[in-house]
Structure formats: structure tokens, C-alpha cells
A = this chain, B = another copy of it.
Amino acid sequence: MANTVLKDQVSLTIPMDRDMELVAAKTGSVLAELNHFNEDQTEEIQLAIIETCINAFEHSQSEDRQVFIKYIVKADELECKITDHGVGFTPEDQHNSIANRQQIHSDMRKRGWGLEITMTLMDEFYIESGENGTTVSFIKRMAS
């Protein structure tokens, strides 16, 4: 860890274990509340964190079984960077996760929603993924 002053950054490391995504979500919700986000936005931030953590738990196959979360608090936005040291994925993997499911109503699929929910609820959204793992980043801006 560098000895720099990271005034507005909180870092959290959680094990890939039952309900640990709630710890990450709550940390985000306290930061959102302290930063005066409203209740709906705080819930949206929590859902985005939960979905991204669960994806790392379910899909990353990481050996260290840990998820690393950075929360960066700015005047009117909250950024989260969620990293695993797993196998990574491509847009094709993501597409397959949607295509390969059976369902009764073609427009009501059961899985393959995590990334889409996160993308829809947040204002900015990025994926960096490779053989050293995945970092999903998103930014929520305060409603004006």
C-alpha cells in the first residue's frame, strides 16, 4: 500500500462467502448517506454493488476467493470499483449467459440480469476483464 493520502477513498476486502455482498452494499450505503444521496439512489447503489459482487462470487473462479472494493467519494458522486482475481470474461460469455436459458415467456428470462441491472441503475459503467481478473467500475451521480 502506498503511503499517499487517499482522503476520499474507502477500501474493503470481503471473502467470497455467503451474504458478504451485504457487507459491501452496506459500506456503500453509509457512504452514500453521508454524502447526502437520497433513499432511492442509496438503494440503487446497494443493488449495483450486490449484483457485481455476486457475479465475482459465482463466475470468477478466483483462487484467493476475495473481492476488493474501492469506494471513491466525490462532491456529488460515488464511484465503486469492484475487482476479483479470477478468470475474466468477454462480451461473448455475457451474451451466452443470456442466450442459453430456457423460459416460458421469451421476454421474461430468469438469469443474465446482473450486469444489465447495474448498468441501468448507474450513470457510468465500465468493465475491464482479462486473464488476471475483472474490475467492474460504476459511478452514481446525485440527482440534481
Contact = CB atoms under 8 A, between A and B. Distances in A.
A97 interface: no
Contacts of A1: 13
Interface in A55-92: 63-66, 85
Interface residues of A, number: 29
Contacts of A64: 3-5
Contact of A34 (B3, B6, B19, B30): B19
Contacts of A85: 3
A31 interface: yes
A95 interface: no
Nearest to A14: B10
A27 interface: yes
A20 B14 CA distance: 19
A7 interface: yes
Contacts of A20: 10
A22 interface: yes
Interface of A: 1, 3-15, 17, 19-20, 22-23, 26-27, 30-31, 34, 63-66, 85
Given A6-B15, A10-B13, A12-B27, 19 more contacts: A1-B13, A3-B63, A3-B85, A5-B63, A5-B65, A5-B66, A7-B15, A7-B65, A9-B13, A10-B12, A10-B20, A11-B11, A12-B12, A19-B34, A22-B30, A23-B34, A26-B27, A26-B30, A27-B27
